[in-house]
């Protein structure tokens, strides 16, 4: 099969790396890609927002399947346009991607299917939202409805913070994403992520993971796209996984099918494990980044078989096999991230890395002749396997220590919560 992979992050390098292992793959193109993806794919520079240009490329190269990494192309309907042109694509339609594209949409699905989630109100004007916030009191959570690159959520510990967040949304801090606001009950518990793949009818559970969103050690500092992750998430017992499948995932898949907008692709549930059981915080409609890196490091099955089964709607005929090992990834970012940072600084020392147990997935990198240069905020994902979270952490940080990049930084405590749990058990 000839594939086109869309994206340029660590998630897409992990996907490219896993796809390249499939005996069914004959040619992999990627756009725009990065220096790591270029090791296994031919890069091309398409304007992905120009769906006609993507279709034209697929036709001229005889592409059998397009794999979409990030959410933005899904939410604007790239998969719909490709399929209308007769080109197979992996990922949800525009209508189904609303599960990520609109928090109010997801709340509506939860209401319809009695899915456990935080109580909420949705508002299209500041006065009504402020009145609700005051009536509920703090702590409380204020969310811009639409896609805001992970920045549209304020967990307000005081009423003042909550009121400021409501005003900021309606004053346009998140652009169109903030035209509507969802105000939510504050949930207490441990967070975990759960990934499934669906073909519109069936949902195949993949795996669980936990990430670290804050920039600095101790989960301090500004929010980021994710500074590290590990899989599986120790908090997610088998019993919890089947509970989540039954009460959250399956009702979501059947509700979207019933509405005539079946969900196909990766469904990524952000969960809060509360005293009352698991509750849905949010959905994403694609793999997480960096969660994808740890998932694919553990996957023994052919990812292309699973993707094709989703696209061709026969997921009920396959299963996914996983290594028992834990996978853990440490993100190396450019100094200054998530604020301003320099691009073009040189990275050395990667040549000696890469084995059965360690993979360095590239995010923002590019080649300049023989030199490897940083080309973004999150730059490398140093990913390792181990028998325990502690082992995987040690293997990952041993590899980080071999990378010579003075302009980069990483957290030194990825996995701390799980390691604490291991040492207490």
CA atoms within 13 A on the CB side of 258: 9
Tokens of 297: 């490091």
Interface with ligand GLY, residue 381, by CB under 6 A: no
Stretch (H or E) spanning 58: helix 51-61
CA angle 111, 115, 116 (to 5 degrees): 110
Per rule CB under 6 A, is residue 100 in the interface with ligand GLY?
A: no
Residue 200 interacts with ligand GLY (CB under 6 A): yes or no: no
The crossing angle, in degrees rounded to 10, of helices 416-424 and 389-402 is 140
Interface with ligand AMP by CB under 6 A: which range of 37-45, 179-187, 342-350, 396-404? 179-187
Which of 74, 187, 197, 380 is close enough to bind ligand AMP by CB under 6 A? 187
Q: Is 153 in the site for ligand AMP (CB under 6 A)?
A: yes
Q: 9: burial class by Cβ within 10 Å (0-12, 13-18, 19+)?
A: buried
| Residue closer to ligand GLY (CB basis): 152 or 288 | 288
| Residue 187 touches which member of ligand GLY, ligand AMP, none, C-beta under 5-8 Å by kind | ligand AMP
What is the distance between the alpha carbons of residues 400 and 419, in angstroms, rounded to a whole number? 19
147 contacts ligand AMP (rule: CB under 6 A): no
Phi first, then psi: give them for residue 8, nearest 5 degrees: -145, 15
Phi, psi angles (nearest 5°) of residue 17: -60, -45
What would the 3-class secondary structure string for 133-165 be? HHHHCCCEEEEECCCCCCCCEEEECCHHHHHHH
* Closest separation in Å from C-beta 150 to ligand GLY: 6
Stretch that binds ligand AMP, among 79-87, 147-155, 290-298, 360-368 (CB under 6 A): 147-155
Q: Which of 46, 128, 155, 245 binds ligand AMP (CB under 6 A)?
A: 155
**Joined tokens for residue 228:** 């590290």
289 binds ligand GLY (CB under 6 A): yes
For the bound state, the minimum distance from the C-beta of residue 418 to ligand GLY, rounded and expressed in Å, comes to 16
Cα–Cα–Cα angle for 350, 356, 358, rounded to 5 degrees: 40
Estimate to the nearest angstrom the gap between the alpha carbon of 297 and the chain centroid. 15
User: Is the preceding omega at residue 357 within 30 degrees of 0, hence cis?
Assistant: no
Count how many residues are written for the chain: 425
User: Is residue 75 part of the contact set for ligand AMP (CB under 6 A)?
Assistant: no
CA-to-CA distance for 99 and 259, rounded, in angstroms? 13
Could you give the string, one character per residue 249-288, with x where binding to ligand GLY holds by CB under 6 A and - elsewhere? Answer: -----------------------------------x---x
**By CB under 6 A, is residue 73 in contact with ligand GLY?**
no
- If one asks whether residue 104 binds ligand AMP (CB under 6 A), the answer comes out as no
Q: Does 270 bind ligand AMP (CB under 6 A)?
A: yes
- Residue 401 has phi, psi (to 5 degrees) of -65, -25
Instruction: State yes or no: residue 211 binds ligand GLY (CB under 6 A).
Output: yes
141 near ligand AMP, rule: CB under 6 A:
yes
Q: Which does 155 bind (CB under 5 to 8 A by kind): ligand GLY, ligand AMP, none?
A: ligand AMP
- Residue 202 or residue 210: which is nearer to ligand GLY going by CB? 210
Is residue 14 a contact partner of residue 40, using CB atoms and an 8 Å limit?
Answer: no
Partner whose binding site includes residue 307, from ligand GLY, ligand AMP, none (CB under 5 to 8 Å by kind): none
Output 83 or 190, the one with its CB closest to ligand AMP.
190
Site for ligand GLY in 224-253 (CB under 6 A): 225-226
CB neighbours (10 Å) of residue 95?
17
Question: Least separation, in Å, of the C-beta of 118 and ligand AMP?
Answer: 4
Phi then psi for residue 257, to 5 deg, are -65, -45
User: For ligand AMP, how many residues bind (rule: CB under 6 A)?
Assistant: 13
* Rounded-to-integer distance, Cα 62 and Cα 46, Å: 16
Compute how many other C-beta atoms are within 10 angstroms of the C-beta atom of residue 6.
Answer: 26
Q: Which positions from 278 to 317 touch ligand AMP by CB under 6 A, shown as an x/- string?
A: ---xx-----------------------------------
**SS3 (DSSP) at 291:** helix
118 binds ligand AMP (CB under 6 A): yes
Q: Which residues bind ligand GLY (CB under 6 A)?
A: 211, 225-226, 284, 288-289, 291
Q: Which residues bind ligand AMP (CB under 6 A)?
A: 118, 141, 150, 153, 155, 184-187, 191, 270, 281-282
């Amino acid at each position: 099969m000839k594939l086109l992979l869309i994206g340029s992050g660590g998630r897409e390098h992990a996907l490219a790396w896993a796809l390249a292992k499939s005996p069914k793959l004959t040619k992999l193109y990627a756009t725009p890609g990065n220096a790591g993806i270029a090791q296994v794919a031919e890069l091309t520079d398409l304007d992905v927002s120009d769906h006609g240009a993507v279709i034209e490329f697929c036709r001229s190269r005889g592409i059998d399947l397009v794999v979409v990494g990030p959410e933005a192309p899904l939410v604007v309907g790239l998969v719909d346009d490709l399929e209308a042109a007769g080109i197979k694509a992996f990922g949800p339609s525009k209508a189904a991607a609303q599960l990520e594209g609109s928090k109010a949409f997801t709340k509506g699905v939860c209401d319809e299917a009695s899915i456990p989630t935080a109580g909420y109100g949705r508002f299209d004007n500041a006065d009504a939202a402020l009145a609700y916030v005051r009536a509920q009191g703090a702590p409380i959570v204020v969310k811009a409805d639409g896609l805001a690159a992970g920045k549209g959520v304020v967990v307000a510990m005081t009423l003042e913070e909550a009121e400021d967040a409501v005003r900021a949304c309606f004053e346009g801090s998140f652009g169109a994403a903030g035209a509507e606001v969802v105000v939510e009950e504050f949930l207490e518990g441990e967070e975990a992520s759960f990934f499934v793949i669906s073909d519109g009818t069936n949902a195949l559970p993949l795996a669980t993971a936990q990430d670290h969103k804050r920039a600095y050690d101790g989960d301090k500092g500004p929010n980021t796209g994710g500074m590290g992750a590990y899989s599986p998430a120790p908090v997610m017992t088998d019993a919890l996984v089947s509970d989540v499948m039954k009460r959250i995932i399956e009702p979501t898949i059947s509700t979207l099918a019933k509405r005539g907008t079946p969900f196909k692709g990766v469904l990524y549930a952000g969960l809060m494990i509360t005293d009352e059981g698991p509750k849905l915080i949010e959905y994403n409609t694609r793999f997480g980044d960096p969660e994808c890196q740890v998932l694919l490091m553990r996957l023994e099955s052919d990812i292309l078989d699973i993707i094709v089964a989703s696209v061709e709607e026969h997921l009920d005929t396959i299963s996914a096999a996983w290594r028992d090992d834990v996978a853990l990834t440490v993100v190396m970012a450019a100094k200054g991230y998530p604020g301003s940072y320099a691009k073009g600084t040189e990275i050395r020392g990667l040549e000696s890395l890469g084995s059965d147990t360690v993979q360095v997935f590239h995010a923002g990198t590019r080649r300049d002749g023989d030199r490897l240069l940083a080309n973004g905020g999150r730059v490398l994902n140093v990913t390792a396997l181990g028998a325990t979270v502690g082992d995987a952490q040690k293997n990952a940080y041993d590899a980080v220590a071999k990378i010579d990049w003075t302009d980069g930084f990483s957290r030194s405590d990825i996995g701390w919560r799980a390691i604490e749990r291991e040492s207490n058990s």
